[in-house]
Amino acid sequence: MIPEPIRKFIESFSRLPSIGPRLASRLAFSLTLLDKQELEKIKQAIWGIQSLERCPNCFFFRQKSKKLCDICANPSRNPKIVAIVENETDLLALEQINRLNSHYLILGEITKDGLIQAEQKFRLQGLKNRIKKDLGGQLEELIIALNPNTFADLTSEIISQEFKTLAKTITRLGRGMPTGGEIEFADKETLIQALERRH
Ligand SMILES: [Zn+2]
């Protein structure tokens, strides 16, 4: 009953986070209302995603043609302040409130046991190497900006221990953020407060 192209669209899009089959079908039908030119723009926007690669320093995305992401390549940022975040959307949330002039490290998803996974160890090791090799052996500040929940608290504790001698100060977001809350969805004011009350 469902036309093949719509069915295929729903199948692909309903795999994406926050988009279930219902939203995917609404999207599919709304796209039928667009003209070719507009569809082409959407197609190119989706296709453009595959030209991204991970920045070797912070693991945010960079364009294939560039060595580093725009944040790491920006000379007016302080490389000796690094904020560790769980994912890209947390990084964007912190960037939006415009209070940090730091670099970042994207850690990747925190697992339910709070223990550090192999890929996360690799990313943290990369930061440690850069601190020793390029950043004079010590950061001015390492901000552990993980979501306030029991698992991430354990992860934060492990990271603090590991970086004890590699950063002058190690801070975490203040308790402006409710426990169990998520950085990505926090309103600006809450996030600013959490950042200003970091300790
Ligand atoms: Zn980067």
Q: What are the mean pLDDT values of the chain's consecutive 10-residue runs (199 residues total)?
A: 93 92 94 96 93 95 93 97 96 92 96 90 98 97 92 93 97 76 82 84
pLDDT of residue 193: 82
> How remote is the CA of residue 57 from the centroid of ligand 1, in Å?
5
Domain 53-196 in this protein, CATH class: alpha beta
Q: What's the confidence (pLDDT) of residue 192?
A: 86
| Span from the CA of 55 to the centroid of ligand 1 (angstroms) | 5
pLDDT attached to residue 99: 86
Distance (Å) from CA 69 to ligand 1 centroid: 4
Instruction: Identify the helix (H) or strand (E) that includes residue 40.
Output: helix 36-48
Provide the pLDDT for residue 181. Answer: 75
Rg (C-alpha) for the chain, rounded Å, is 20
The CATH classification of domain 4-52, taken from the options 1.10.8.420, 1.10.287.3510, 1.10.10.60, 3.40.1190.10: 1.10.8.420
Instruction: Find the 102 Cα to ligand 1 centroid distance in Å.
Output: 11
- For residue 188, the CA-to-ligand 1 centroid distance in Å is 23
Domain regions of the chain by residue span: 4-52, 53-196
**Distance in Å, CA 60 to ligand 1 centroid:** 5
DSSP string, 72-137: HH-TTS-TTEEEEESSHHHHHHHHHHT----EEEE--PPPTT-PPPHHHHHHHHHHHHHHHHHSTT
**How many other CB atoms sit within 10 Å of the CB of residue 104?**
27
- What does DSSP assign to residue 178? P
Ligand 1 mean position, distance from CA 61 (Å)? 7
